[in-house]
Chain A
Amino acid sequence: GAVVSQHPSWVICKSGTSVKIECRSLDFQATTMFWYRQFPKQSLMLMATSNEGSKATYEQGVEKDKFLINHASLTLSTLTVTSAHPEDSSFYICSATGLAGGGDQETQYFGPGTRLLVL
């Protein structure tokens, strides 16, 4: 139990285009989903927190108009990187919390990540 998937696993796009990344909780209802970004040899940096049906809460320094988050249902959240630029190239990882497989409700279960390369 407690499986989170992401799609796509990697994407290459041209500068100025928008990219959408999907995060799904496959076997549990995720009350909250989180989006992180990780640069090489660095730790995960939280970008935003979202709850189903409400607006995401962004961390300081993260542009909400550039990184659009939609939490449409209890099993799906999407992150759209708008007008992507090379400096947005990174590893994007989502996580979800909820009552999953009898585990603690506070535990975050992570997706496998999406590697974005903007040319």
Chain B
Amino acid sequence: SQKIEQNSEALNIQEGKTATLTCNYTNYSPAYLQWYRQDPGRGPVFLLLIRENEKEKRKERLKVTFDTTLKQSLFHITASQPADSATYLCAPTGRGGYNKLIFGAGTRLAVHP
């Protein structure tokens, strides 16, 4: 069955450093992959979408890579700020259907001043 793995442990980093979060998937070949941010008690907020034919995508301080050979996506936040503290979810999405999202468990990021 499809499986998505994200760092289960919380990631603690110092303000100003680059945070790198990992998403690994097995048993399927997603056409694209999305990253979301979720704050406690709130719905997820869309951050970036990267397609299988794209190696890298950037948006302001965010960068996502997608390696279909390794079946892995990396999510980077440069010059991190305490306001970046949240849980980050990855959702590799398969082909066809109604773009059903299956989420990883998420990685909790804490950026300390």
The chain A residues found within 8 Å of chain B, CB to CB, are 2, 4, 6, 32, 34, 42-44, 46, 49, 51, 57, 91, 93, 95, 97, 103-104, 106-113, 115
Complex Cα distance, B104 from A107, in Å, reads 16
Inter-chain contact B43/A97, CB cutoff 8 Å: no
Complex Cα distance, B101 from A4, in Å, reads 17
Cβ–Cβ < 8 Å partners of A91 in chain B? 41
Inter-chain contact B43/A111, CB cutoff 8 Å: yes
Supply 20 further A-B pairs (C-beta < 8 A) apart from A34-B101, A49-B98: A2-B46, A34-B100, A43-B89, A43-B106, A44-B44, A44-B103, A46-B102, A49-B97, A51-B98, A97-B99, A108-B34, A108-B46, A108-B99, A109-B46, A110-B43, A110-B45, A110-B46, A113-B42, A113-B43, A115-B41
CB distance from A15 to the nearest CB of B (A): 24
Inter-chain contact B46/A107, CB cutoff 8 Å: yes
Given known contacts A43-B106, A106-B49, is B98 in contact with A112 (CB within 8 Å)?
A: no
CB distance from A64 to the nearest CB of B (A): 16
Inter-chain contact A113/B99, CB cutoff 8 Å: no
Question: Which A residue sits closest to B6, measured CB to CB?
Answer: A43
Chain A interface main SS type: strand
CB distance from A10 to the nearest CB of B (A): 10
In the complex, the 9 A-B pairs of residues with the closest C-beta atoms, listed nearest first = A110-B43, A43-B105, A113-B43, A43-B103, A32-B98, A93-B43, A110-B44, A106-B99, A49-B98
Within 8 A of A (CB), among B68-113: 89, 93, 97-106
